[in-house]
């Protein structure tokens, strides 16, 4: 079976993340704060189409600009 291509990928800069948790409340399918609350875990870096809008909301709301959502070429920006 051929896996569907991801619609976007997540680039995350752990070095500047302050673990505010903002992204986890906006996209819990993608981001999670570790149990010790010291690090952010990215649960999936390859994002299917139905999660791209959530990922982009998290990107826009990150206070540190630690998240970049990179759409695959040819994907709609709508």
Interacting residues with ligand SF4 (CB under 6 A): 17-23, 31, 40, 62-64, 66-67
Between CA 29 and CA 9 the distance in angstroms is: 14
Work out how close the CB of 72 gets to ligand SF4 at its nearest, in angstroms, rounded to a whole number. 21
Which residue, 43 or 64, has its beta carbon nearer to ligand SF4?
A: 64
Which residue, 55 or 62, has its beta carbon nearer to ligand SF4?
A: 62
Work out how close the CB of 8 gets to ligand SF4 at its nearest, in angstroms, rounded to a whole number. 16
């Amino acid at each position: 079976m051929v896996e569907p291509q991801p619609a976007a990928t997540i680039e995350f800069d752990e070095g500047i993340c302050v673990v505010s948790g903002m992204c986890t409340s906006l996209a819990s399918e993608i981001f999670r704060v570790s149990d010790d609350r010291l690090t952010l875990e990215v649960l999936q870096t390859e994002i299917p189409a139905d999660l791209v809008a959530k990922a982009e909301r998290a990107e826009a709301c990150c206070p540190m600009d630690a998240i970049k959502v990179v759409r695959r070429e040819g994907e709609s920006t709508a």
